[in-house]
Amino acid sequence: MDLKISKWGNSQGIRIPLPILEQMGINSPDGESVSISVNNDGVATLKRAVKFNEYADLFKGFDYKAYTGKTSLGNRENRLGDPVGKEKI
């Protein structure tokens, strides 16, 4: 599909047809974020941006044991070393 680049204010833009957005899984496009990357050959790839609904989503699949060598924190903070600045209260 060929699209035309149009001037939008001080920028340039393209309009993405709704069927293309639907193929990307974007059914309600107003305010939706996308990411674009360009490879060395000048080929642009447009992807639906990753959206996190909850803070916990950021850590899905995080292996705490592999990262720290411990099975859990319990109810305490993780000890990362001695204070080195004014964080000491």
Q: Is the pLDDT of residue 75 over 60?
A: no
pLDDT at position 67: 80
SS3 of residue 57 by DSSP: helix
d(CA 14, CA 24): 16
SS3 of residue 27 by DSSP: coil
d(CA 17, CA 14): 9
pLDDT at position 88: 60
CATH architecture of the domain with range 6-68: Ribbon (2.10)
Cut 0.85: pTM above it: no
pLDDT at position 12: 95
User: Where exactly are the structural domains of the chain?
Assistant: 6-68
pLDDT digits (tens, 9 = 90+) for 10-53: 999 999 999 998 998 888 778 888 889 999 999 999 988 877 66
